[in-house]
Structure 1
Amino acid sequence: MRPDFKKMQNMIPAIVQDVNTKQVLMLAYVNEEAYDMMLKTHETYFYSRSRQELWHKGETSGHLQYIKSMYLDCDADTLLIEVEQVGVACHTGSYSCFFNEVLPEVKKITFVGDEHA
């Protein structure tokens, strides 16, 4: 099954996740060329919307992403890519691009006991 690139200007979003920890590392966009390169090389490739060109993640920084699995969502218009990350994923130097907490006052709810079993 191939992604449906026609829905969103010939590219689809790709969520990149650490294969071991399941931490979400980044979100980027993939066009058909990037998708085909990933199938061929098992490394992540994206389409840079700002530079309007193919982008091999880690090519200049050495922070490569080795693809361990890829999944399409139910509509075939979003990819989930599980990777082995070398170094960091974010250009800021953070392991994940998702480190800015939006709702810090919201606490995780913990259920005690079996009343919700």
Structure 2
Amino acid sequence: MSTWLDEIRWDNQGLVPVIAQDANSQRILMFAYANREAVALTAEKGTAHYWTRSRQKLWHKGEESGHFQHVREIRLDCDGDVIIYSIDQEGGIACHTGRESCFFRVLRDGVWEITDEVKKDPSQIYAHGHGH
């Protein structure tokens, strides 16, 4: 029996790109990949799950940092190959650097300028290593 998960166009590694977007401000907070299990768990449990390519494992965002992402909506794009998690970000920090968003650098005159303050020192967030 075909399910909604079968309508997602998974890449050749069984992954789909996921954009985490703040449900209130609409700011892009994070980009990651998810496999079928991660997307299914996100829908079932209501908190964001991903697949970490560097560690090759299922990643329940917040399991180490406590910064869980409460998913209000899961959206699929027109081609079926990109997903958006519309989220409420616990602690207001999505990035392992301790910033609100992973997209904290902006190109200005040929230089990447940092636009966001660190809200919390990563060493206080992660007991062992960083989050990605």
TM-score bucket of the superposed structures, by smaller chain: 0.7 to 0.9
Aligned-CA RMSD value: 1.3
Tell me the TM-score normalised to structure 2 length.
0.75
CA shift at 1:70, angstroms?
1.0
- What runs of 5+ residues in structure 2 fail to find an aligned partner? 111-132
- Aligned partner of 2:101 among 96, 100, 106: 96
In structure 2, the partner of 1:46 is 50
Residue identity opposite 1:17 in structure 2? Q
**What SS class does the counterpart of residue 50 from structure 1 fall into?**
coil
Three-state SS of the structure 1 residue aligned to 2:25 is: coil
- TM normalised by structure 1 equals 0.84
Give the number of equivalent residue pairs. Answer: 104
What corresponds to 1:25 in structure 2?
29
By relative contact order (CA 8 Å, sep 6+), the higher-ranking structure is 1
Structure 1 gaps of 5+ residues are 107-117
* CA apart distance, 1:91: 0.1
Look up the match of 1:62.
66
Q: Which has the larger radius of gyration?
A: 1
| Structure with more helix by fraction | 2
Percent identity over paired residues? 41
